[in-house]
Amino acid sequence: MSSNQDHHPPRLARRDLLVAAASIVPAVVAGGALAQSAGTGAAPLAVDRHADGKAALVTGSSRGIGAAIARRLARDGFRVTVNYVRSQARAEEVVREIETGGGQAIAVQADVSDADAVRRLFDVGEAAFGGVDVVVANAGVMRLAPFGEMADGDFQHMIGVNMQGSFNTLREAARRVRDGGRIVTLSSSITRLRTATYGPYAATKAAQDIYASVLAKELAGRMISVNAVAPGVVDTPLFTDGKTPQQIEGFVQRTPHRRLGEPEDIANVVSALCGPDGDWINGEVVYANGGIV
């Protein structure tokens, strides 16, 4: 039989939490009129208040799809914990954009492959916002090579971040998300495309489909919906880096909409799942790929 400690890991002492919160990037609600983002010229993020009082935590949200999800959830009214590993400046910029739009956010460093770091990430987010209602396990890495050329280090790195990291995140989410909340993990449409050189990466993403289906059943009775979102080809460095224009165009031509997805396309799907009308979608893999598969 598991002890209470197994289900509720020790929290940091209050003083430690205050010190941690003071060292991150606090965001204060910007009341009144919305302004242009300082120094960037970016349009401010208008806030829809349907999620007022609720809190979201998004891993790997300093750039790309994760940043778009953080901004969109903030626009929906969630107070957002923005997570990063090394890109502190990018994470701080996401926080500033959220602040400018009238939202609240903090930036917290944590490597999701480290279980202790993930526990601290949740501790700080809970200390700042009083709990957590939505968790999005977005952090991920991609290394591509044919099986015969895949380096052990690249394979292990993907396992550590994509499989172990999402497991660490979902385990804490299962323990801490408040009843009625939402949990989303990022899969990939490559699990169905199965393109050459993507084998190990696709396997780590297929794990997300299983995680979502099983966790949804394990949380029965708590009204927490758990789903995987499987993007197609999205215009982010994770997809475009290392590819020639011809290779990218090949994927575009395979997509009925004849374009790459944008991070906001995926953020909109996550927003729908996390919104008031998304509770009946549970244990599913939602393919957001413009019809490529």
The residues, ordered by sequence, that sit 6+ positions from 195 with a Cβ below 8 Å of its Cβ are none
Does the pLDDT at position 287 exceed 80? yes
205 closest CA partner among 121, 134, 143, 271 = 143
pLDDT at 28: 33
Looking at per-residue pLDDT, the higher value among 265 and 14 belongs to 265
79 closest CA partner among 144, 45, 130 = 130
pLDDT at 51: 76
Looking at per-residue pLDDT, the higher value among 205 and 52 belongs to 205
Residue 33 forms part of a structural domain: no
d(CA 107, CA 232): 27
Could you tell me the strand order of the sheet in which 105-109 lies?
105-109, 79-84, 55-58, 134-137, 182-186, 225-231, 285-288
Does the pLDDT at position 9 exceed 50? no
pLDDT at 44: 54
Q: Taking a C-beta distance cutoff of 8 angstroms, is the pair 112, 169 a contact?
A: yes
Mean pLDDT of 54-75: 98
- Percent of the chain past pLDDT 90, that is, above it, reads 79
Residue 37 forms part of a structural domain: no
The CATH number of the domain holding residue 90 is 3.40.50.720
Model pLDDT for residues 82-112, shown as the tens digit of each residue: 999 999 999 999 999 999 999 999 999 999 9
Residue 255 forms part of a structural domain: yes
Note if 287 is an active site residue. no
Residue 3 forms part of a structural domain: no
Catalytic residue among 84, 201, 211, 287: 201
Q: Got the DSSP string for 193-222?
A: H--TT-HHHHHHHHHHHHHHHHHHHHTTTT
Q: Got the DSSP string for 40-98?
A: T-PPP----GGGTT-EEEETT-SSHHHHHHHHHHHHTT-EEEEEESS-HHHHHHHHHHH
pLDDT at 41: 43
Number of domains making up the chain: 1
Place of tokens 């770091």: 117
pLDDT at 242: 85
When pLDDT is cut at 50, 70 and 90, the band that residue 48 belongs to is low
The residues, ordered by sequence, that sit 6+ positions from 218 with a Cβ below 8 Å of its Cβ are 174
pTM over 0.85: no
Amino acid at 275: G
Does the pLDDT at position 53 exceed 80? yes
Domain assignment of residue 272, given as a range: 13-27+42-288
For 185, 214, 253, the CA distances from 170, given in Å and listed in that order, are 8, 11, 35
Residue 4 forms part of a structural domain: no
For 123, 124, 172, the CA distances from 20, given in Å and listed in that order, are 9, 7, 19
Residue 32 forms part of a structural domain: no
Residue 1 forms part of a structural domain: no
